[in-house]
Chains A and B, each alone.
Chain A
Amino acid sequence: MAIDLHKFANPARFLRITAVIFPWAAALTLLLLGIGLYFALFVSPEDYQQGNTVRIMFVHVPAAWMSMSVYSMMAISAAVGLIWKHPVADLSAKAAAPIGACFTFLALVTGSLWGQPMWGTFWVWDARLTSMLILFFLYLGYMAIWESYDDPSKAAKAAAILVLVGAINVPVIKFSVDWWNTLHQPASVATMDGPKIHSSILTPLLIMGTAYMSLFVTVFIIRVKAEILNRRLRMMRLVQLED
């Protein structure tokens, strides 16, 4: 790889870089969430069948995107942590997990609130919904395994193995609407023939997607920073005990 990963693996340098990014990411989140919500709730047209409930989509779809992206990102960091033994990679996977779990939960809840008026039921056991629920359980299992080891380096490896095994679920979620005949509608934004929805809806959706992404970056930086400081504190305590 052309980018030198080892350079960013240094926690001190990582903290310095994120300190520069953080205010921009936070400001971008506020700005995009403001614009995105305004467009989504007021400007974009009502659906001719769904009426105003279609606006749930602007909260639901980006959350679902993020839930899968965050899991993929965790799987990649976990693999980097396993292969090159970079402690920051493990910590970044750990820091991302609760955020991803929140996005998954948000997608599930908004989805079922949207399902009630549209499908007439809060929940159906079709492939897309079930695989999202599995993803939520995978996040919970990942967080649980971090808690159940005393030694953080062992916990990191165990969690990395688990997250890599669970990564098989991500393509299953993505293609579940194509492989099975589901109630959930098939992919309509990222298709081979380009987006299938009108720009008056697509633009606010993409703005919201970017806003969620920068929200993730903002929260992620806070959490990784806390993890790194936490680990430093632990080391300092250990050194103190040895003296």
Chain B
Amino acid sequence: MGSFFSLLKRDIQLAVRQGSAFTMTLSFFVIAVTLFPLGVGPELSILARISPGVLWVGALLACLLTLDRMFQADFEDGSLDQLMLGSMPLEIMVLAKISAHWLTSVFPLILITPILALSLNMPGEGIGAMILALLLGSPVLSLIGAIGAALTVGMRRGGVLLSLLVLPLYIPVLIFGVAAVEAAIAVLPVGPHLLLLSGLSLGALVLCPLAAAAGLRLAVD
């Protein structure tokens, strides 16, 4: 357990000191969301109608942006080999990497979501549900993304392939995430959607580290 936390700490420190990862995904998210009012038109009722979907898709794409770096930096400088030689089970190592990715590139998006939601004229009832849905559902993005990142780690231009592999698997999260917010706006029960999102997260938490570890073993040997 100690090595899990030290790896997590190391990855977060790396991200903080580099700095660019935070600001880049955040600004991408903000810009991508801002493009919609410009493209669709500033009519407030339309914006309120599409806001849950826009925010979810924006978060999904912003998360995708940093996925290919999840293992790649360590793969290039050789520390991935060292980590795999160590006594820590590879699955736990992968889980630490996934947690670091979620904390550094997905969590900041959730923090800024309420402001963007307000700017898109999302009704007040929806904003709380949006944050809850993101908190419960977004771990799936990092978890499934880790499989894609592990499978494409050795490739020179893996980013495009990564999105082809990962985006179809993101669709269930998107569907239930948007459904939760829309239910909240329509004052319908939100619980079932949030439960489904948590179920997806828990299932992915069990299966994805195994698959990603298998992918990494393949890339490194």
Contacts and interface: CB of A to CB of B under 8 A. Distances in A.
A35 interface: no
A165 interface: yes
Interface stretch (A20-28, A53-61, A89-97, A140-148): A140-148
Contact of B164 (A130, A137, A157, A165): A137
A202 interface: no
B211 A137 contact: no
B168 A138 contact: yes
B215 A158 contact: yes
Interface string B177-213: 0000000000000000000000000000001000100
B218 A158 contact: yes
B151 interface: yes
B188 to A, nearest CB: 14
B161 interface: yes
Nearest to B203: A168
B161 A137 contact: no
Contacts of A161: 147, 151, 211, 214-215, 218
A145 B152 CA distance: 9
Contacts of B169: 134, 165-166
Indicate the member of A130, A134, A141 with the most B CB atoms within 10 Å.
Answer: A141
B165 interface: yes
Nearest to A164: B211
A145 B155 CA distance: 11
A172 B158 CA distance: 28
B131 interface: no
B14 interface: no
B171 A144 contact: no
Interface residues on A, range: 10 to 19
Contacts of B147: 161-162, 165
Contact of A154 (B164, B171, B218): B218
Contacts, number: 49
A165 B158 CA distance: 19
Contacts of A172: 172
A170 B219 CA distance: 28
Indicate the member of A134, A144, A165 with the most B CB atoms within 10 Å.
Answer: A165
B168 A137 contact: yes
Interface in B96-110: none
Contacts of B164: 137, 140-141, 144
B167 interface: yes
Contacts of B165: 141, 144-145, 162
A162 B167 contact: no
A138 B164 CA distance: 8
Contacts of A137: 164, 167-168
Nearest to B207: A165
A145 B161 contact: yes
A145 B151 contact: yes
A134 B165 CA distance: 11
Contacts of A134: 168-169, 171
Contacts of A165: 144, 147, 169, 207, 211
Interface string B50-78: 00000000000000000000000000000
A138 B168 CA distance: 7
A144 B161 contact: yes
A117 B214 CA distance: 47
Nearest to B148: A162
A159 B214 CA distance: 12
Interface string A184-200: 00000000000000000
Interface string B153-170: 001001001001101110
A166 B165 CA distance: 9
18 contacts: A137-B164, A140-B164, A144-B161, A144-B165, A145-B165, A148-B152, A148-B155, A154-B219, A158-B218, A161-B151, A161-B211, A161-B215, A162-B151, A162-B165, A165-B144, A165-B147, A165-B211, A166-B168
Given A154-B219, A172-B172, 9 more contacts: A141-B164, A141-B168, A158-B151, A158-B215, A161-B211, A161-B214, A161-B215, A165-B207, A166-B169
Give me the 3 closest cross-chain CB pairs, A-B, nearest first. A137-B168, A141-B165, A134-B168
Interface of B: 144, 147, 151-152, 155, 158, 161, 164-165, 167-169, 171-172, 175, 207, 211, 214-215, 218-219
